[in-house]
Structure formats: C-alpha cells, structure tokens
C-alpha cells in the first residue's frame, strides 16, 4: 500500500512529462476511469534533471518535482529500451541516444550501429526489452512505484510510422510486427482486469489495481 488515497472519477493529476506521445498514450489508458490528466507542459512546469541511474530513481525525480511544483498528485513514467548485446544500453539513457533534439531516427540508427559493431546480426542475438516504471507522488512526499516489462527482438530497418520513440525497431515476442506497425489499441492490449501488452500498459495495470477506485 502506498498510503496515498485511492483515485476516483473526477480526480485530477499531473502527468510529469513534456512528451506529447506519452501524454496521448496515458490519456487513452486513463479514459475508462474518468480521471482528468494534465501534462507538466500544460502547466509550464520545468523539467528536472534526470540524474538517476535506474528507471525508479528517475521516475521519482520527475513525479516529486511535478507534485511539489503543482501542489497536486503527479504521475511520472520513466521508460526505455534495454538491449542484451549492448550490456543493457541504452537503458535509462534511451532518450539521450536520440540526441538533444530527440531525433529518434538518429537514435534507432545509433542502436543499430552498436549492434552491428557487436556482431549481433541474428534474431537470437538481438533480444531486448522495453521497461517502464510509474511513480505516483503526493505533494507531501509519499509515493508508490509500479513496473512493467515486455521482451522482444530488435529489427532493422525500422518498420511502421505509428507510436513514437524506438517503436519502429522493436518487435514484441509472439508478434511479427513492430510497435511502430501496431495501432495503439493493440500495442496497449489492455483493458480493466487484463495485463496489457506494452511495458507501459503492464505497469499501468498494476497502478490501476493498486491505486484506482473502480465501480
């Protein structure tokens, strides 16, 4: 138990992110619950330096910064792609691999170049996972963490133009299409009472179970 009162329809919380793609995904996930989700960008909140070395540390930094600045509940997501052949990189630095302008075509090419340099050319050598940690933070300092993971294979060239980030090069286990080729309803693969498909949906399912009051 987090000690934070369970959320109910009509409650407001801040998504501690300036990423429009992430906001769109969360609004879709939150839609069945009648919660009002606003982004840190809408409130013109500053982006804190993500100095953590784990997803949990960075999720906490972002959630607590937003909760304190807005004086309301805040939800953050820290997520990334971990590639076995690269020793777990890019990991918590996934967005940084896309450069200061967040050019994910550049980021995907950088990952592919690193895989080629590691001689990781067969599907078995190109295993990776997407991981997400959600943090719900209260202005008084309380928080709760929820984690999700999905394993898959890195493909090249990129495939698909939906989703965002590194989605076009990640093919989840059990599928022959990438996240970049999946409509959001398939990528999430989530509904109340289900686990979900994506790392974010799986973390969200745990968040719902632990934190949202359902009718």
Active-site position among 11, 44, 49, 78: 78
Distance CA 185, CA 197 (A): 10
- Could you give the strand order of the β-sheet that contains 170-172, starting from the edge strand earlier in sequence? 36-39, 12-15, 74-83, 127-137, 143-154, 170-172
- Rg of the chain's alpha carbons, rounded to an integer? 17
Q: Which residues pair with 127 in a beta bridge?
A: 153
Look up 78 and say whether it is catalytic.
yes
Going by their DSSP bridges, the two strands 36-39 and 74-83 should be labelled as unpaired
- What distance in Å separates the CA atoms of residue 27 and residue 56, rounded to the nearest whole number? 22
Active site residues: 78
């Amino acid at each position: 138990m987090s000690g934070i009162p369970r959320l109910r329809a009509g409650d407001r919380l801040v998504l501690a992110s300036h990423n429009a793609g992430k906001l769109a995904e969360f609004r879709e996930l939150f839609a069945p619950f009648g919660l009002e989700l606003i982004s840190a960008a809408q409130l013109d909140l500053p982006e804190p330096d993500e100095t953590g070395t784990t997803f949990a540390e960075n999720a906490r930094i972002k959630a607590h910064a937003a909760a304190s600045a807005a004086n309301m509940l805040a939800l953050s997501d820290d997520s990334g792609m971990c590639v076995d052949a690269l020793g777990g990189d890019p990991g918590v630095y996934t967005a940084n691999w896309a450069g200061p302008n967040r050019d994910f075509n550049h980021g995907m090419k950088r990952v592919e170049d690193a895989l080629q340099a590691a001689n990781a050319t067969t599907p078995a050598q190109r295993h990776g996972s997407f991981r997400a940690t959600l943090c719900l933070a209260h202005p008084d300092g309380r928080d709760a963490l929820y984690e999700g993971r999905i394993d898959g294979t890195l493909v090249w060239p990129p495939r698909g133009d939906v989703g965002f980030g590194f989605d076009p090069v990640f093919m989840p286990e059990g599928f022959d299409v990438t996240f970049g080729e999946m409509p959001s309803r398939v990528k999430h693969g989530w509904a109340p009472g289900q686990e979900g498909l994506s790392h974010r949906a799986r973390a969200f399912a745990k968040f719902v179970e632990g934190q949202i009051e359902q009718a």
